[in-house]
Chain A
Amino acid sequence: MVPPAIEISGVTRRFGSLIAVQRLSLHVEKGEIFALVGPDGAGKTTLMRLVCGALAMNEGTLRVDGLDLALQTAEVQASVGYMPQRFSLYPDLSVMENLRFYGAIFGVSRAEFGRRATTLLADFALTDFGDRLADDLSGGMKQKLALACTLIHSPSTILLDEPTAGVDPVSRREFWRILYRINAGGTTIFVSTPYMDEAERAKRVGFIARGTLLSCGTPAELKSHLTGEVVEITSRERGDVRRNLRDEPLVRSIEIFGDVLHALVPSADAAIPAMRSRLAAANVSDAVFRTIPPSLEDAFVARLQT
C-alpha cells in the first residue's frame, strides 16, 4: 500500500507556555489537495513549519512518504517544497536568477535545472519575464514565481501557507488553475487558506483551532456534519435584520454573507415564521427567506461557535 504523503501523529509544539500545536494527528493522502483552515493563531503556520522540518516538534512523529522526518531529515526535505507566507524572493535578482538560486540550494543539476525552469516558466506564463527583476513583478506574478521556486527541485509534496492572501480575485483564479494542473501531474498539495471558496476546491479539508484538529473530511462531509438548517435572508436592511434576529431563541447564529444573510437554525419550519414576525414588529418588510444547502463557510462558522 502507498504510504500517505504526510502522516502527522500526536505532534505537539510549545513556545514557552504557549501550546501552538497540541497532540495533533492527520494524514494527507498521496496525490490529493488538502486544505487547512482555521482562525488566526490556530497553529496553521506552525504545523506547516513542523512538516517541512524548519521547526522541531516537542512530541509525536511525522512521516513524509513513509520516511521519518526525525531520522531521515535530508531525504524528507528533498521531497518537500515549502512556500511560506512571506516567501523570500530576491527583489534585485531576475526571475531566472531567483529560480537558479533555489535550484542551487536544492542541488538541482544543471541539465535538470534547464529543463525544469523552461517547463515551469511556460506553465506559469512567465516565459517572457525571465529577465525581469522580481521587484518589478505584479503581486500575482510574484506569487507565481514563488511557487515556481518551490517546485524547482520537483518535490512530490508541496506545503503552501496562505499563498493567495492579498492576491486579487482574477490572479487568485489563475493561481488555483496552476495548482490544479500541478496536482494533475501527481504532486500532493497541502495548502492553508483564509478563503473558504478555495477550501471548497480541495479534496479534503481540515478545520483547526487552538492547535487541535476539530474536524476533517471532504467538503461534502464537513457540510453534512452541520446540524440544523441554513436560511438565506435577502433584505435591503441587512444590518437591521441582523440586529433584530440576533436574540431570537430559534436562531443559533446570523451572519452577513456578501449581499445576503445566513441564519443557522435548528429547524427552518419553526424559525422562519418567528423571524418574520420579529422583523415585522421592527418594521423591516422586505425580507425574503429561503432554505439553502450550507456552504463550507457555514459549516466552519458553526463549528467554531460551538
Chain B
Amino acid sequence: MNGSAAPTIRADALTKRFGDFVAVSDVSFEIRAGEIWGFLGPNGAGKSTTIRMLCGVLSPTSGSAEVLGFDVARDPEEVKLRIGYMAQGSSLWNDLSVQEHLRFYAGLFGLAGTKREDAISHWLKRLDLYGQRARLAGTLSGGYRKRLALACTLLHEPQMVFLDEPTSGVDPLSRREFWDIIVALAEAGTTVLVTTHYLDEAEHCNDLALIYDGKIVASGTPESLKRDARNGITAEILSPDTVRVLDAIETQPFVASAGLYGSALHVCIRERDGLDRLSQFLQEHAIPVDSIAQVTPSLEDVFASLVGKR
C-alpha cells in the first residue's frame, strides 16, 4: 500500500444530467489506495451513474474525475484497462458456460497461456465455482451468477475494483465469503469501491458516503456516522403488534424516523427526553408493548434517519 501517493480516485464536482433530470449533482470525494470505500443510498439516488462515470463508460455533464491518475473523460480507455467493474445488472450470457465466460474475459484483458489458465482455476476454486464450470450461466441460481460475475471482474487483477451491489441476492454465508475476498483484496493493495443495501456489510468499509437525490448527504467512517447520529436517541420497541405501534407513532412530531428492525421496531427521536415522551404516548393511547429500551444506533438507523421519515 502506498498511502503517501496521490489518491486512487479523485472526483471533483462530478455532475450528470439526463435531459432535465439531474442524476448526480456536484459530487466530490477522494478514495485512497487500498481503501474499501462504501457507497450507500436508496435505489435511484445516483450510485450506479457515479460509478459508470468513474469507469469511463458514461461521460460527465460537468466536473471531472481522475482514476489511477487518468482523467475519465480524456482517457477512458486507459481507465478501463486498469479497473474491474461488476455491474449491478447481469453482464453474463445465458448460453455461455462458466468456463467460457472466464476465458472470454481473460481474452478481453489480454491474459493468455498458463497465466490465463492459472487465473481461471484460481477464481473457480476461490469462489466455489469449480463444480459448476461446465454449466451454462442461464441455469445458475442468483447467488452463483454473482460469484461468476465477481470472478470475471477480478480475473485480470485490476488495481481498482468497482463492485455495484455484489452481494444482492447472495445468502448470508456466501456474503461473508465475498467480504473475506474483498478484505483480502484491499489488504493486498487493491482499492475497492462497493455499494450495498446490507448495512451490516458497510461496517467493513474504511469510509462511507451516503448519496441521496444525486447529492452526498453524509460521509465518514462507520463509527463517526453512528456517533453523529447519537445526538438523538434510538429506541427499540418490542410489541406483539409492531405495525400498530408504527402506525400510531410515526406521525408524532417528536419522532424523527421509525421502522421495522428484524421483528422489533427502531425509533429515532431528536429530543433528549424522547424516551419518556414515547413511553408516555404509548401508555396514554393504551398501545401494548413488551419493552422499550434505548439502543446504540445501527448504520441502518443512521441511513433511515437521513433518507426518509418512515
Contact = CB atoms under 8 A, between A and B. Distances in A.
Interface of A: 15, 37-42, 45, 85, 138-140, 162, 165-174, 176-177, 180-181, 184, 194-197, 200-201, 219, 239, 255-259, 295, 297, 300-301, 304
Given A138-B42, A139-B44, A169-B304, A40 B144 contact: yes
Quick one: which of B139, B176, B197 has the most chain A CB within 10 A?
B197
A169 B199 contact: yes
A177 B170 CA distance: 23
Contacts of A167: 43, 197
Contacts, number: 113
A180 B174 CA distance: 29
Given A38-B171, A85-B169, A297-B172, A170 B307 contact: yes
Given A40-B141, A140-B43, A169 B300 contact: yes
A259 B224 CA distance: 13
A255 B200 CA distance: 12
B263 to A, nearest CB: 4
Given A162-B169, A166-B197, A167-B43, A176 B260 contact: yes
Contacts of B310: 170, 173-174
B303 interface: yes
B143 interface: yes
Given A169-B300, A297-B172, A259 B243 contact: no
5 contacts: A40-B144, A40-B170, A170-B303, A181-B243, A197-B262
A194 B243 CA distance: 22
B179 A194 contact: no
Given A139-B44, A256-B176, A256-B204, A168 B183 contact: no
A258 B198 CA distance: 9
Contacts of B175: 194
B253 interface: no
Quick one: which of A166, A172, A180 has the most chain B CB within 10 A?
A166
A169 to B, nearest CB: 5
Contacts of B246: 177
Contact of B298 (A170, A173, A177, A258): A258
For chain B, the bracket of interface size reads 35 or more
10 tightest A-B contacts by CB?
A40-B143, A139-B43, A258-B200, A165-B169, A173-B259, A138-B44, A166-B168, A168-B42, A41-B141, A197-B262
Interface of B: 41-44, 88, 139-144, 147, 165, 168-176, 179, 183, 197-200, 203-204, 222, 243, 246, 259-263, 298-300, 303-304, 307-308, 310
Given A166-B197, A170-B303, A173-B259, 11 more contacts: A39-B173, A39-B174, A42-B171, A138-B44, A165-B169, A167-B197, A168-B42, A168-B307, A172-B197, A197-B261, A258-B203
B179 A256 contact: yes
A177 B243 contact: yes
A256 B176 CA distance: 8
Contacts of A172: 197
A141 B295 CA distance: 31
Contacts of B139: 15
Quick one: which of B183, B246, B260 has the most chain A CB within 10 A?
B260
Given A138-B43, A168-B42, A196-B172, A85 B142 contact: yes
B251 to A, nearest CB: 14
Given A181-B243, A256-B176, A200 B263 contact: yes
A138 B46 CA distance: 11
A139 B165 CA distance: 13
B42 A40 contact: no
A54 to B, nearest CB: 16
A82 B71 CA distance: 47
Contacts of A259: 203, 222
Nearest to A296: B262
A85 B304 CA distance: 25
A300 B179 contact: no
A66 B100 CA distance: 46
Given A197-B262, A297-B172, A169 B303 contact: yes
A194 B262 contact: no
